[in-house]
Amino acid sequence: MTILGSVIILAALLAASAQSAQIDHLYVAPNGSDKWSGRLAAPNKAKTDGPLATLEGARGAIRRIKAECGGLKRPIVVQLRNGTYFLDRPFELTSDDGGTKDCPVTYEAYRTAKGVERVVISGGRAITGFAPTEANGLDVIAAAVPGFKEGWYPDQLFVNDRRAHRTRLPKEGWYTIKSAPVGEQWSEGQDSFSFEEGEIKSSWRNLLDVDVVALTLWIESRMPIESVDDANHTVKLAKRSRFWLASDFDRNKGGRYYIENVFEALDTPGQWYLDRSDGRLYYYPLPGENWREATFIAPRLERLVQITGTAEKPVEYVNFRNLRFAHTQHILPPDRSGSAQAAVEVPGAIYAVFARNCEFDRCEVSHIGTYAVEFGPGCSRNTVRRCLICDMGAGGVKIGHGAERITVSDNEIADGGKIFPSAVGVWIGSSPHNRVTHNSIHDLNYTGVSVGWSWGYAKSAAVDNLVASNHIHHIGRGVLSDLGGIYTLGVSPGTILRNNLIYDSQSYSYGGWGIYTDEGSTGILIANNVVYRTKTGGFHQHYGKQNIVTNNIFAFAAEHQLQRSRNEPHTSFTFQRNIVYYDTGALLGGNWGDDNYDMDYNLYWDGSGRPITFAGASLEQWHKRGHDEHSIIADPLFVDPAHDDFRLKPDSPAFKLGFKQPDISNVGPREAVGVKSRP
C-alpha cells in the first residue's frame, strides 16, 4: 500500500471516530436502573453504574443534559437492549423532549455487529399462574387476570407471540338476523333483533359478557348482550347498533352477525375465554403445546407512545428506529357501538399532536387492537417508512384532521380489522399535501387507502395528496361492502393516484371496486394504474366532477368494469387512453344516460367473444352520443393476462391510441421492511 493510501485510510478512520464522538449515547436495559447514568451499555462489575431501566429514565436524562448544557449540543441516541419493556402508562414526549435538525433525539434498538437486538415496547401485561382445569368437558387451563378488580378486561390474548382466538359463534362466517325493527333510514340503529332458534341462549354462562358483532354496509357494530328471550328468540342489546341491522340497503332482509366470548364455545384448541365475573382467563392449549413454558400477554394500554406538543412549542426531530411496538386495546365507550366509517374513532397505538419532523423508521407495530400510528392536529413533515405494521385490531396509519405533509412510504401494512373490520390501511382525513408511496397494503376487510373526509362539493382541506406506486391487494375479503383499493371523498384539487397495482377487491355484496371516487370527489388525476380482479368494477364514481382517468388498465371485474352512479349537470370525469379488458359481466354499470362525461381514445375488449355494448348502446350509437369517437374494440395483446401479466406486446393496438405501458415494476416497498434483526 502506498503512503498516500495509508494516509487516506487513517483520515477516514479519524473522521468516523470524530463523527461517533459527536453523538451522545444513552442506554436502557431490563437489568438497568434509573438511578444510574445510562452511559454504559451494561452494568459495571461493581453494579454502581450502567444502563437506565426505562424509557422515562432516558427521557429524564435527556432533560438533564439539556438543562446542564443550555440545550442539545450533539445528537442523542438512546439504545435499548434486548427485552420486552412493559409500560404502565404511555411513554409521553412533550416539547421539552424534542431535538433539532442538527441534533435530533433517537430511540432505537441496540446495535451489534450482527444487527440489532430484539426490543418490544409493550402495552400488555403478562398473565401467569395458569393451572389445569375443566371447561365443557375438556382439559383446559385458567389463570387469574391481575387488575380485573380495577376494571381491566382484556379483549385479546397472545400466546408465544401468536394471537389466540377469542371464542366465537359460528366458528366461521356469520349468522343472519331473522328480523329487526329497522326504521326507514339506514343510519338508524337498533338494540334488539330476532334470531334463528339455537343461535343465542339465555342459559349461557355470564350472558352479559357476550358480545354481538353486527356487519352492516361498510361498518361493524359491537354490542354486549343485555337479555335473551328464549321463547320468542329475541335478544336485547346493551347498545344500539351504529346502522340498521339490515342487509346493506335491503331493509326487509336481516343483516349478518357473529358472537364472541361465549364460555360454551370454548371447544377448539387455541381459543380463549374471559370470565368477567371472577376475572379468570381460560385457554385451550394447542396439541403438543407446552403451556407451562409459554408466554401469555394480554393488552392493557390503549396507547404506547404519545407525542404531545403545542402550537407554540411543537415536539420536533424525535426518531424511533428498529423498535417493536405491541399489545394495545381499545374498549368502546358505553354509548358507542362503532364508527360511521373506517373505524375512524379507534385511536392509534402511537399518537402525535403538534409533532414535526419526527420519524418512525424500520419499526414494527403488531399484535394491537387499535390503529398503529395516528397523526393529529398540528402534525407536519413526519414520516413512517420501512415499517412492518401487521396483525391489527383496526388499521395502519391515520393522518387526521389538522395534520399535513405526512409521508407514509415503503411500509408493509397487512392483516388488519381483527376487532374493527371497517378500519383501513392508510386513512387521510381533512389533511393536505401527504405522500403515500411504495407501500404494500393487503389483507384488510375494508379499504386500502382512504383519502378525504368531506361529502359533497363544499371546500375540503384534503388537497394535493399523492397515492403512488402502492401494491394494494386482497381488500374487503368478502366481509363488508362499499369499499375500494383506493377510496376518495370530497373536493381534492391536486390529488394524484398513479402507478398503483390493485387487485382482488372483494366486497360482501355491492361495492368491491378498485378505485372509488365517492361523494363529491373532484379534481383528482387517476393515471397509470393497473387494476384487476375486482368484484363490482375497476373504477367507480359515485358522484363528483372534473376527475381525469387516463392511461390505466382495468381488467377482469366480475359484475361490470366501469360504474357511474349519479347523473349530474356537469362533467363527471374524463376517461381517455385506458384499456378495459374483461370476459364476464358488462362493460358499463350504473347511470350513463346524461352523457356528462368525456370518453375517447380507449381500447375495449371482451375476451369471451360477446359483442361489446355501452350501457345498452352499440359502438355506433355510442359515437352518435359523442363518446369514444377514436376508441377501438380490439385485443390489446397482453403478454399473459390469465396469469396477471398485463405487459403489452410490441404490436399492441393500444400504442396507436397514445397509450403508454404503466410502470408498476417498483410498486410496494423498495427494500425489506421492519426491524433489521440479527441473523
The pLDDT tens digits of the residues spanning 298-334 come to 999 999 999 999 999 999 999 999 999 999 999 999 9
The pLDDT tens digits of the residues spanning 24-76 come to 999 999 999 999 999 999 999 999 999 999 999 999 999 999 999 999 999 99
The pLDDT tens digits of the residues spanning 473-482 come to 999 999 999 9
* β-pair partners for 92: 306
DSSP calls for 285-296: PPTT--GGG--E
- C-alpha gyration radius of the chain: 28
The pLDDT tens digits of the residues spanning 381-394 come to 999 999 999 999 99
For the chain, give the percent of residues with pLDDT over 90: 94
CATH 1.10.3470 fits 175-264, yes or no: no
Rounded to 5 degrees, what are φ and ψ at 641?
-65, -30
Read off the DSSP letter of residue 476: S
The pLDDT tens digits of the residues spanning 359-414 come to 999 999 999 999 999 999 999 999 999 999 999 999 999 999 999 999 999 999 99
Which residues have C-beta within 8 Å of that of residue 176, sequence separation ≥ 6? 196, 247, 254, 255, 256, 257
**Which band of pLDDT confidence, cut at 50, 70 and 90, is reported for residue 18?**
very low
User: CA 589, CA 510: separation in Å to the nearest integer?
Assistant: 12
> Angle at Cα 27 formed by Cα 19 and Cα 297, nearest 5°?
135
Which residues have C-beta within 8 Å of that of residue 209, sequence separation ≥ 6? 224, 261, 274, 275, 276, 277
Write down the residue that cell numbers 374498549 correspond to. Answer: 331
Residue 537: what pLDDT?
97
Of the candidates 452, 417, 626, the residue with the CA atom closest to the CA atom of residue 542: 452
Which residues have C-beta within 8 Å of that of residue 46, sequence separation ≥ 6? none
632: left (phi over 0), alpha (psi -120 to 50) or beta: beta
**Which band of pLDDT confidence, cut at 50, 70 and 90, is reported for residue 636?**
very high
Residue 677: what pLDDT?
58
- Is 40 strand, coil or helix? coil
User: CA 340, CA 345: separation in Å to the nearest integer?
Assistant: 9
- Is 642 strand, coil or helix? helix
**What is the b/e burial string over 562-591, where b = at least 16 CB atoms within 10 angstroms of the residue's CB?**
bbbeeeeeeebbebbbbbbbbeebbbbbbe
DSSP calls for 562-577: EEE----SS--EEEES
* β-pair partners for 641: none
Residue 602 to residues 39, 533, 551, 580: CA-CA distances in angstroms?
A: 66, 20, 9, 8
pTM value is: 0.95
Q: Which amino acid is at 197?
A: E
Pick 19 or 132 by higher pLDDT.
132
Mean pLDDT rounded to a whole number for the chain: 95
**Which band of pLDDT confidence, cut at 50, 70 and 90, is reported for residue 676?**
confident
The pLDDT tens digits of the residues spanning 339-360 come to 999 999 999 999 999 999 999 9
DSSP calls for 301-333: -S-SEEEE--SSS-EESEEEES-EEE----PPP
User: CA 571, CA 87: separation in Å to the nearest integer?
Assistant: 55
Domain ranges of the chain: 124-167+266-297, 175-264
